[in-house]
Amino acid sequence: MKSIPLFLMGCGGVGRQLLQHIVSCRHLHAKQGMLLRVVGVCDSKSLLVATDVFTKDLNDSSLMEICRVKSSGSSLSMLNGLGESQIFTNMESTGKALEIAGHLGRTTGLAVVDCSASSETIEVLKQVVDFGCCVVLANKKPLTSSMEVFDKLVSHPRRIRHESTVGAGLPVITSLNRILASGDPIHHIIGSLSGTLGYVMSELEEGKPFSQVVKAAKSLGYTEPDPRDDLGGMDVARKGLILSRLLGWRLNLDDIKVESLYPDEMGPDKMSLKDFLANGLQLLDKNIEERVKLASSKGNTLRYVCSIEGTRCHVGVQELPKNSALGRLRGSDNVLEIYSRCYKDYPLVIQGAGAGNDTTAAGVLADIIDLQDLFS
Ligand SMILES: NC(=O)c1ccc[n+]([C@@H]2O[C@H](COP(=O)([O-])OP(=O)(O)OC[C@H]3O[C@@H](n4cnc5c(N)ncnc54)[C@H](OP(=O)(O)O)[C@@H]3O)[C@@H](O)[C@H]2O)c1
């Protein structure tokens, strides 16, 4: 039986779902001759590790207890004394995590999985790469900080997987890497990579006011608690930056032109969320309605897209033919069109759910399994 030791950073919606997938797939993995051994899990404040990471792991009942405690909003430190495990808090956690990664990275191998939404994991990730560990990311921040960090993380391409950083579980990164590996030059990538903004733009087409559509998206749970986090476009810009860097462009986040769907004076530092929802949003209705009508008069529709062409990446609203994969988009799906020599007149189109804990965690799990050849 091949054994893959795992260390999980981040135990929110995606991290917990990943633990559940691991437990529910035990039978399937055993049939494939694989055992996923979770040796440590950390959140923002604490670390829970098996007492001896070489011979022990956090068993399935401990993993389920972690999920229960974390979904109730408590810290991992509540689990002091759980099974054959130890808790480390705050300052001690990073040192202990690096100690484990050092031991396992150089011996059995270790997959370090980042399901946090934090930049604080970057220093740990840089070091574990030097220890020979594999890295699996759902977190976009490590790959969108400096070029130096990006170069370091991808320095051993066989040891990093990050499918869920763009399009959640959709095979976006895999497809791109396969096209690039075959020497087929990619000319243009254009995609609707935010489920929230995909929903908003397609609902506008029905003639509904922007303010009403954003509020509906919020009540359906499609938006962040403050919808301006989606409407500002920075999350799409991070995805665009990851794709651009995969194409070989040495860009940084501030090289990307990002169009926000609300003006500066309605930003979170100048207007409360309550005021934005009650008064600010509807001031944006008229302008957007006019843009929708103008596009429609030309047989087009508006989509909030990330477009990478040449060395430039641009994120914002574009008019696109109604009769295109992006133009036909309805609801919260992601759609990505890739144009290359082989996909010249008709793009390669990848479409499907681009968010959600289940599909994102499934993407992370598939990435871990994809590393199995590196373990014995
Ligand atoms: N959900 C989706 O649909 C989706 C889709 C694609 C990609 N992603 C990405 O997946 C990641 C996880 O998303 P999520 O929805 O699960 O986020 P989340 O619910 O906010 O959970 C984040 C987790 O990270 C932990 N954390 C914060 N700082 C940390 C640190 N320094 N070290 C270790 N853990 C730390 C948090 O700890 P506490 O519990 O102590 O706060 C929390 O457990 C994000 O980067 C997100 O962008 C999500």
Residues 162 and 196 in one domain: no
Report how far residue 79's alpha carbon sits from residue 46's, in angstroms, rounded to the nearest whole number: 10
User: What is the arithmetic mean of pLDDT over 313-323?
Assistant: 97
Residue type, 47: L
Domain interval for residue 151: 2-169+358-374
Of 70, 140, 141, 239, catalytic: 239
Report how far residue 109's alpha carbon sits from residue 94's, in angstroms, rounded to the nearest whole number: 19
pLDDT band at 334 (very low <50, low <70, confident <90, very high): very high
Residue 6: the pLDDT is 98
Asked whether residue 310 carries a pLDDT value surpassing 90, the answer given is no
Residues 77 and 120 in one domain: yes
∠ CA 29-32-36, rounded to 5°: 35
Nearest partner of 196 among 160, 169, 225, 171, judged by Cα: 225
Token pair, residue 284, equals: 């944006």
Report how far residue 235's alpha carbon sits from residue 349's, in angstroms, rounded to the nearest whole number: 21
Q: How many A from CA of 116 to the centre of ligand 1?
A: 3
DSSP 8-state class, residue 78: G
Residues 314 and 186 in one domain: yes
Say which CATH number the domain at 301 has: 3.30.360.10
Token pair, residue 93, equals: 């956690």
Residues 104 and 155 in one domain: yes
**Which of 79-93, 112-126, 145-159 is the least confident region?**
79-93
* Counted domains in the chain: 2
Q: How many A from CA of 21 to the centre of ligand 1?
A: 17
Residues 131 and 190 in one domain: no
pLDDT band at 373 (very low <50, low <70, confident <90, very high): very high
User: What is the arithmetic mean of pLDDT over 266-285?
Assistant: 97
Residues 276 and 131 in one domain: no
Which residue matches tokens 């399937």? 28
Percent above pLDDT 70 for the chain: 100
Question: Residue 192 forms beta bridges with which residues?
Answer: 335
Q: How many A from CA of 139 to the centre of ligand 1?
A: 7
Q: How many A from CA of 267 to the centre of ligand 1?
A: 24
Pocket mutation for ligand 1, best pick of 7, 20, 44 (most atoms within 8 Å of C-beta):
44
CB 347 within 8 A of CB 339: yes
Residues 150 and 182 in one domain: no
Asked whether residue 152 carries a pLDDT value surpassing 90, the answer given is yes
Residues 165 and 187 in one domain: no
Say which CATH number the domain at 10 has: 3.40.50.720
Token pair, residue 330, equals: 């309805």
Pocket mutation for ligand 1, best pick of 9, 43, 140 (most atoms within 8 Å of C-beta):
43
Report how far residue 172's alpha carbon sits from residue 166's, in angstroms, rounded to the nearest whole number: 7
Residues 152 and 288 in one domain: no
CB 238 within 8 A of CB 144: yes
Which residue matches tokens 């359906």? 220
Using a 6 Å CB cutoff, which residues line ligand 1?
Answer: 9-15, 42-45, 75, 115-118, 120-121, 138-140, 164, 168, 355-357, 360
pLDDT band at 80 (very low <50, low <70, confident <90, very high): confident
pLDDT band at 83 (very low <50, low <70, confident <90, very high): confident
Q: Is 69 helix (H, G, I), strand (E, B) or coil?
A: helix
A 10 A CB-CB count for 178 gives 11
Residue 82: the pLDDT is 87
Residues 232 and 279 in one domain: yes
Percent above pLDDT 90 for the chain: 96
Report how far residue 142's alpha carbon sits from residue 227's, in angstroms, rounded to the nearest whole number: 24
User: What is the arithmetic mean of pLDDT over 186-200?
Assistant: 97
Q: Catalytic annotation on 239?
A: yes
Residues 95 and 30 in one domain: yes
Which residue's CA is minimally distant from atom 32 of ligand 1?
A: 44
∠ CA 75-76-77, rounded to 5°: 85
Residues 180 and 75 in one domain: no
pLDDT band at 90 (very low <50, low <70, confident <90, very high): confident
The model's pLDDT over 10-56, given as tens digits with 9 standing for 90+, comes to 999 999 999 999 999 999 999 999 999 999 999 999 999 999 999 99
pLDDT band at 91 (very low <50, low <70, confident <90, very high): confident
The model's pLDDT over 227-243, given as tens digits with 9 standing for 90+, comes to 999 999 999 999 999 99
